[in-house]
Structure 1
Amino acid sequence: MRYVISRLWSLCLVFVVSSFVVFSGMYLVPGSPENFLVQGRTVSPEVLASIRVQYSLDDPFLTRYWNWLTSAVQGDFGRSLTTRQDVSNLLAARLPTTLFLTLYAGVLVVVFGIGLGVIAGTREGVFEKIVVFGSNLGFAVPTFFAALLLMAVFGGALGWFPVTGSGSGFGGRLFHLTLPAVALSLPSLAVVARITRTSVREESGSDHVLMAVARGVPRRLVLWRHTVRNSLLPVTTVIGTHLAALLASAFVIEYAFTLDGIGALLVDAVHRQDFAVVQAIALILVVAFGLINLAVDLLYAVIDPRIRLGKAA
């Protein structure tokens, strides 16, 4: 419990510092909300003053930050400068697509990355060489190019999957987002498979594994209890990093497949200088990164109890 509490306190501190950076960073870019709203037109000082009052631009900086943070915690991210809609409503309409796409790609990374890595690490021969070659190829191919290739082959030539839209319902989303999820997961899947193979190989030659084999422990038990479990620490670190990166890089896939996710919304908001939307999406990404890192830390403690005992001490 002490280990969990310490990680939660660290996460809260990261959230506060990151939110301050996100909020203050918007004031470092050229332009301001009132200049964007007037679009270069000449307006009276009264109109300009009313705009500043509406967006609380005359308040002290720390007051503006505190009001924005407390509202964001309650789910209120303000109003979009371009559409005049609540940012929360814009995010609520687009966030499910991004979450489904990211989770779908994450499942592919975990299942196939670890599975292929374990098989390649325990078996020598043609399959291992195929996994090594495939991991090098998957890591080298850019995500956008992989998306175009999958669209041309499986969407255009074969016609197996749709190449536009996110579908509706669980089955429809699963069908429509298969190609985007595969394209998004390829680089991370390749890295996880390669790291898993290397880690399993190194753990297979460790003293406690060799001792278990010498004592006659069944091979399957040695593989899963001693080899695979102890090799998961570095793999967990890589998976946590890449799962967080999936959410950040999803905008490339959303743009290629014309999906209505927050990645495409972020690109559009940056082009239009929609400060409220950019701040909200940046804060969501920070929270997602923090929660994933927390899950990785807790998973460390499950895999190796010495970690939580050491932190507690």
Structure 2
Amino acid sequence: MKTAGLKASLTSGTARFLAGRMLGLAVVLLVASFLVYGLLYLVPGGPMAFLLGNRTGTPEQIAAIRSQYRLDDPFLVRYAGWLGDALTGDLGRSLVYRQDVTDLLAARATTTLFLVVYSATLIIVGGLVAGTVGALRGGRTDTLISGVSSLLLATPPFVIGVILVIVFARGLGWFPVFGAGDGLGDRLHHLTLPAVTLAAGSAAYLARITRACVQDELGREHVETAHSRGLSPARIIRRHVLRNAAVPVTTVVGLTVAGLLAGAVVVENVFALDGIGSLFVRAIMQRDFAVVQAVVLVLVASFVLINLIVDLLYHALDPRMAR
């Protein structure tokens, strides 16, 4: 009876946890979409002045722009129409490329997604391994890992990118400088330098956090108790140290991976990758606001979704957090 009651309580707590997180996700996305759409109306001179820029539009062009952005309707009506279209996958039409924004993003999403996943893998594997080894080994190993981490944290990503290009692309000729490649193997080859550039600083930060968390857990009373009971060091590290250290580390991993979406904007421009980040920069310079709105909305939605995944991982690591 007690076991059944405990299971029912955990199931109920999980359901409430998921419902609350999904509701929070919906509210954040709604507020973010309102702010993203409202940016167009906060620029000096109003939306028409921003969209035309230094150009003198013909009556037909002005009429087309006013129709596309529903400028003759009340603001809330325009926002509701835009949000309804966005929910169905219609993110508007680019004034510069003369294409649907959804098609523009879809054509470039593969490069950005591959870059982010590749970088996230390097960050998680490199950061966790380096931080854990530094905490457990100590001595010169810990000093070396801490020194390299500090150096990477102090170096801007674009500087790391330039150094990698000079050494490994121009000097040794191991990797190409430009392009994203075709096929899995070719993409891995082309995107290695951009992924390392994007991941270096974040991996160093994760290594320092992991090291601190593991060292903190090593000094806990329950770890000393496990040692006194004669448990093997491997089992103690796996079940009592790494498991407990995983909760704060998961927070850093989630925020770091979410931040890669913004960092990809810089890296894609450094390596001339035709991804969403480089499209975003060009759209800002060309005043292609439909593209700017769409990219910002996608970035916000991705950030919120990743944080939802982190919350679910919290619950998996420690179900008490759902209560």
Q: Normalising by structure 1, report the TM-score.
A: 0.95
**Alpha-carbon separation, structure 2, partners of 1:49 and 1:146:** 47
Count residues in correspondence: 308
Are the counterparts in 2 of residues 200 and 228 from structure 1 also a CA contact under 8 Å? Answer: yes
Counterpart secondary structure, 2:179: coil
Are the counterparts in 1 of residues 177 and 271 from structure 2 also a CA contact under 8 Å? Answer: yes
**Alpha-carbon separation, structure 1, partners of 2:242 and 2:64:** 64
Does the alignment pair 1:217 with 2:231? Answer: yes
Question: Which amino acid in the other structure matches residue 173 of structure 2?
Answer: G
- Residue among 82, 106, 109 paired with 2:123: 109
Shift of 1:50: 5.3
- Residue among 59, 65, 87 paired with 1:73: 87
Shift of 1:55: 3.1
- Residue among 53, 56, 60 paired with 1:41: 56
**Alpha-carbon separation, structure 1, partners of 2:68 and 2:298:** 24
Equivalent residue for 2:34? 20
Identity %: 49
Are the counterparts in 2 of residues 37 and 81 from structure 1 also a CA contact under 8 Å? Answer: no
Q: After TM superposition, list the pairs within 5 Å mapping 1:55-204 onto structure 2.
A: 55-204=69-218
Q: After TM superposition, list the pairs within 5 Å mapping 1:150-299 onto structure 2.
A: 150-299=164-313
Q: 1:58 to 1:105 in 2, by over 3 A?
A: same
Counterpart secondary structure, 1:231: helix
**Alpha-carbon separation, structure 2, partners of 1:50 and 1:131:** 58
**Alpha-carbon separation, structure 2, partners of 1:158 and 1:275:** 42
**Gaps in structure 1 of 5+ consecutive residues:** none
Counterpart secondary structure, 1:26: helix
Q: 1:232 to 1:162 in 2, by over 3 A?
A: same
Are the counterparts in 2 of residues 266 and 277 from structure 1 also a CA contact under 8 Å? Answer: yes
Question: Which amino acid in the other structure matches residue 90 of structure 1?
Answer: L
Counterpart secondary structure, 2:197: helix
Shift of 1:33: 5.5
**Gaps in structure 2 of 5+ consecutive residues:** 1-14
Shift of 1:51: 3.9
Shift of 1:214: 0.6
- What's the Cα RMSD here? 1.5
**Alpha-carbon separation, structure 1, partners of 2:113 and 2:205:** 22
